Amino acid sequence: MTARTDTELGRWASLDEQIDRLRGQLARLEPLLSGPTTASALEEFDAATERLIAEAFGRTSDTLETYYYAQLGEAASMLNLQEEAPEGSHDDLGRESLRQRRRVLESCVWEVEAKRAANAKKRSPVPQAATRVSEYMTREIRSIHAGSTLKDAGQCMEKYKIGFLFVDDHKRYVGTITEAMLSRAVVAQGLDAATTPVNRCMDETIISIDNHEPIVEAVKLMKDHGIRHLAVAEEETIVGVLSVSDLLRYYSGV
């Protein structure tokens, strides 16, 4: 991980410039994900990314803290059980750490895009048709049983390339668990991923939004609750999930 430094930042770039530079970092990350990576190249990439995030969100922002944490390979670390690790697992852990970096950068782009869209809306009084949650939600629902282990949950997230699962008791959904919850449980609290059940770390409150609601209401709900995933309901039945990545797709087209 790159050492944290408090350097004096110059004048902040415009929102358009910030978006372009963050997208540029995402483009730089792709070769690191698909090919061999040297320590020096990764350190250079991390240093540049930290500067961009600090410029966009501040040196003491939660976003920058999240990027520092992503460099640890948070979700991958919880599956690092040495006695079960197959050949090449260290490479897998390194790739997971890179994927964590990509998720943080995607989130950064979304947040700055949202800020730009909000500014544009203030400048333009022309009303626009509201985009509904149903237009961008993910209809595929993934869940895990409450008695399954944290390792099972992590492997499920890795298999489907997602960061959120509903938790069920074979009859109904009883909570949710995210990649961040798994990381805190294993990395911060030191719980054993192979034996700790999901229901010990899950959130028993399921925050949902109706699929006919405007997507801007979903943004507000995520901000109010400090979450990155929303259950989407239709007539009180969960029919999908809306994530930060889905919102990024929406704001990229605004």
- Least confident range from 71-80, 102-111, 157-166, 237-246: namely 71-80
Beta strands, E only, the chain: 143-145, 164-168, 173-178, 208-210, 229-234, 237-243
The residue from 123, 157, 182 where one domain ends is: 123
Q: Is residue 167 located within the same domain as residue 119?
A: no
Residue 16 banded pLDDT, cuts 50, 70, 90: confident
Contact of 160 with 51, CB cutoff 8 Å: no
pLDDT band at residue 184 using 50, 70 and 90 as cut-offs: confident
Is 5's pLDDT higher than 80?
no
Residues 64 and 50: their CA atoms lie apart, in Å, by: 7
Q: Is the pLDDT at 88 greater than 70, yes or no?
A: no
Residues 172 and 239 in one domain: yes
Q: How many whole angstroms separate alpha carbon 220 and alpha carbon 239? A: 20
Same domain for 159 and 229, yes or no, is yes
Per-residue pLDDT at 84 exceeds 50: no
Specify if 149 maps to a domain.
Answer: yes
pLDDT for residue 172? 93
Asked whether residue 7 carries a pLDDT value surpassing 60, the answer given is: no
**pLDDT score recorded for residue 245:** 87
Could you tell me if 49 and 23 lie in one domain? yes
**pLDDT at residue 75, rounded to an integer:** 37
160 shares a domain with 55:
no
The last residue of one of the domains, among 123, 147, 172, is 123
**Cβ neighbours for 144, distance < 8 A, ≥ 6 positions apart:** 152, 153, 156, 165, 166, 167, 168, 177, 198
Separation of alpha carbons 143 and 219, rounded Å: 23
**Which band of pLDDT confidence, cut at 50, 70 and 90, is reported for residue 141?**
very high
> Cα dihedral sign for 94, 202, 224, 235?
positive
Q: What percent of the chain has pLDDT above 70?
A: 82
Q: Which residue has the higher pLDDT, 107 or 128?
A: 107
pTM of the model: 0.55
Distance CA 32, CA 107 (A): 19
Q: Is residue 1 assigned to a domain?
A: no
* pLDDT value of residue 91: 55
Alpha-carbon distance of 215 to 103, in angstroms, equals 21
Q: How confident is the model at residue 64 (pLDDT cuts 50, 70, 90)?
A: confident
How many domains, in total, are found in the chain?
A: 2
Domain extent for 160: 133-252
